[in-house]
């Protein structure tokens, strides 16, 4: 139980613990994705489909344009100088509304339920609000109960269900929506 308060305590003492990702973080981000995907989607996504997706989506040269780039907010969470989680928000074009999407949020299994996901989420909401974004979307694999509960607790509400190809499979996703506003700006 003591451990549960570890990250919150570190956050309070070292405010820079969640920070923007840099190019030198990319290989570590790929490692975190690999371990967390294997743990989360072990029974849901076939190993071959997981491997192919991760190789493509987390190849450093494919991720590099999202780092330090307009319309992207890519964060890493560090614990004792190790990258243990990451979150990536991006601006989504819409003709009348300023929208963004949380496209990745992963915390290493050994570091989950320590407030890290919440800290990344709140850091991102603060940045989105300052950029005048009005709505944030996120899509979650429908049977991922832990993540769904997490988003619902953080103000996301059901928007729609949709399917997406992942290699040879079709994955069912639940899309959530959350309003972003001044209340998300931290003092």
Ligand X SMILES: CC(C)(COP(=O)(O)OP(=O)(O)OC[C@H]1O[C@@H](n2cnc3c(N)ncnc32)[C@H](O)[C@@H]1OP(=O)(O)O)[C@@H](O)C(=O)NCCC(=O)NCCS
Q: SS3 for 7?
A: helix
**Number of chain residues interacting with ligand X (CB under 6 A):** 22
Q: Judged by CB under 6 A, which stretch of 1-9, 47-55, 155-163, 177-185 contacts ligand X?
A: 1-9
Residue carrying structure tokens 């489909």: 49
* CB of 19 closer than 8 Å to CB of 78: yes
- Interaction of residue 75 with ligand X, rule CB under 6 A: no
Candidate residues 18, 127, 147, 174; the one interacting with ligand X per rule CB under 6 A: 147
Question: Which residues within the stretch 30-69 sit at the binding site for ligand X (CB under 6 A)?
Answer: 36, 40
DSSP track, 102-165:
EEEEEE-GGGTTSSHHHHHHHHHHHHHHHTT--EEEEEEETT-HHHHHHHHHTT-EEEEEEEEE
Instruction: Please state the closest distance from residue 171 (CB atom) to ligand X, in A.
Output: 11
Candidate residues 76, 112, 124, 135; the one interacting with ligand X per rule CB under 6 A: 112
Name the residue nearer to ligand X (CB basis): 96 or 165.
Answer: 165
Q: Judged by CB under 6 A, which stretch of 23-31, 57-65, 144-152, 178-186 contacts ligand X?
A: 144-152
- Interaction of residue 11 with ligand X, rule CB under 6 A: no
- Interaction of residue 106 with ligand X, rule CB under 6 A: yes
Instruction: Please state the closest distance from residue 59 (CB atom) to ligand X, in A.
Output: 20
Dihedral sign, Cα of residue 35, residue 165, residue 87, residue 23: positive
Cβ-based neighbours of 87, under 8 Å, separated by 6 or more: 74, 75, 77, 102, 104, 105, 106, 117, 120, 121, 123, 124
Which residues are near ligand X by CB under 6 A? Answer: 4-5, 8, 36, 40, 105-107, 112-118, 140, 144, 146-147, 149-150, 153
């Amino acid at each position: 139980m003591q451990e549960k308060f570890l990250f919150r305590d570190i956050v309070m003492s070292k405010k820079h613990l969640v920070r923007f990702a840099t190019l030198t973080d990319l290989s570590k981000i790929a490692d975190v994705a690999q371990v967390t995907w294997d743990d989360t989607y072990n029974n849901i996504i076939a190993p071959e489909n997981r491997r192919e997706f991760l190789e493509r989506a987390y190849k450093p040269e494919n991720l590099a344009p999202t780092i330090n780039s307009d319309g992207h907010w890519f964060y890493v969470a560090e614990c004792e100088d190790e990258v243990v989680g990451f979150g990536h928000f991006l601006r989504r074009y819409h003709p009348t509304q300023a929208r963004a999407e949380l496209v990745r949020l992963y915390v290493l299994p050994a570091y989950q339920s320590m407030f890290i996901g919440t800290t990344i989420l709140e850091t991102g909401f603060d940045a989105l609000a300052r950029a005048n974004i009005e709505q944030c979307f996120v899509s979650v694999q429908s049977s991922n109960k832990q993540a769904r509960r997490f988003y619902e607790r953080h103000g996301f509400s059901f928007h729609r269900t949709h399917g997406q190809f992942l290699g040879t499979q079709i994955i069912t996703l639940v899309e959530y929506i959350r309003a972003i506003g001044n209340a998300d700006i931290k003092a």
